[in-house]
Amino acid sequence: MTDQSANKDFPKQQQSLPGSQQQQHPSPEVLPRDYPNGKLAGKVAIVTGADSGIGQAVAILFAKEGADVIVSYLCEDEDAKVTKEHIESYERRCLLVASDLAKESNCKALVDKAITEFGHIDILVNNAGRQVEQQTLSDISTQQLDKTIHTNFYPHFWLSKYALEHMSAGSSIINTTSITAYRGSDHLMDYAATKGAILSFTRALANNLMSNNKGIRVNGVAPGPIWTPLIVASFTPDEIEEFGKSSPMGRAGQPNEVAPAYLYLASDDASYVTGQVIHVNGGEIIGG
């Protein structure tokens, strides 16, 4: 990768419109970047919730592009083994870690295991989450609220905190927020609230790391309706039958249609991108 820091200062110069690139100094870098061994060659990535769905698709794509992957998941051993098989089919190393990341000690332990096994961390994908439908606010118990917050938001904070100790300039943190962070959800109010918190945390941490000249980028992905096990575990049969049909494209997306957004943000292709969110939602136009 070209050292972009060399282009911070430009000598005084002026041209008449439309301007000549041949006379511009230094000349803009326009040739495609070359990744002979994959966009993530030599990188080590932690991906949470990587046993299935979006996390699984991300972990497999990262391996295809040259990364070794720590696959974090709650308890779905068989799904996680499939993820590992796919990663190893690309001749990359995979470490499976079954853990409840709603506990801070487990988040630190996950980072420690990654360092013990691989020596460094280049990419952190905070993706694991849960959702439970409720039709009214009074139906959401304090217990449910606490569990949703501890599962969806706290691990983003804790894992970022502990992983940053081992990340260097050029590393990347990618957080999974949601379309619900922007437009809400009348039946997933606590879930939407945590996704809004993740959005704000992403922007705040990105600003903090840039202000402190860490050179570590922080971005997010906001999926819309994506066909994952979380959907069939959360929605009613009637809702599943209509799932995704209200999107402008008239269908739900697949995990492998979301994963390339994470790859872009993890790679040097996104070297000038931080504090941003990529929307993969079937065409819904939303603010923010």
**Backbone φ/ψ region at 217: left (φ over 0), alpha (ψ -120 to 50), beta:** beta
What's the pLDDT at 8?
67
For 243-272, b/e burial (b = at least 16 CB within 10 A) is bbeebeeeebbebebbbebbbbbbbeebee
| Distance (Å, whole) CA 207 – CA 217 | 9
Average pLDDT for residues 153-157, to the nearest whole number?
A: 98
Q: Is pLDDT above 90 for 169?
A: yes
Average confidence score pLDDT of the chain: 94
Instruction: Identify the pLDDT of residue 288.
Output: 60
pLDDT for 7 beyond 90:
no
Statement: residue 3 has pLDDT above 60:
no
Q: Which CATH architecture has domain 44-280?
A: 3-Layer(aba) Sandwich (3.40)
pLDDT of residue 231: 86
Per-domain residue ranges of the chain: 44-280
| pLDDT at position 228 | 85
Catalytic residue among 191, 262, 264, 272: 191
Mean pLDDT of 126-141: 95
| % of the chain at pLDDT higher than 90 | 89
Give the span between the Cα atoms of 211 and 169, in whole angstroms.
13
Name the percent of the chain lying above pLDDT 70. Answer: 97
Residue 286's pLDDT is 84
Does residue 220 contact residue 276 with C-beta atoms inside 8 Å? yes
Average pLDDT over residues 157-167: 98
Q: How many CB atoms lie within 10 A of CB 97?
A: 19
The pLDDT assigned to 9 comes to 82
What does the block give as tokens for 204? 């705040």
Could you report the per-residue pLDDT of 95-111, keeping only the tens digit for each? 999 999 999 999 999 99
Annotation marks residue 154 as catalytic: no
pLDDT tens for residues 40-88?
999 999 999 999 999 999 999 999 999 999 999 999 999 999 999 999 9
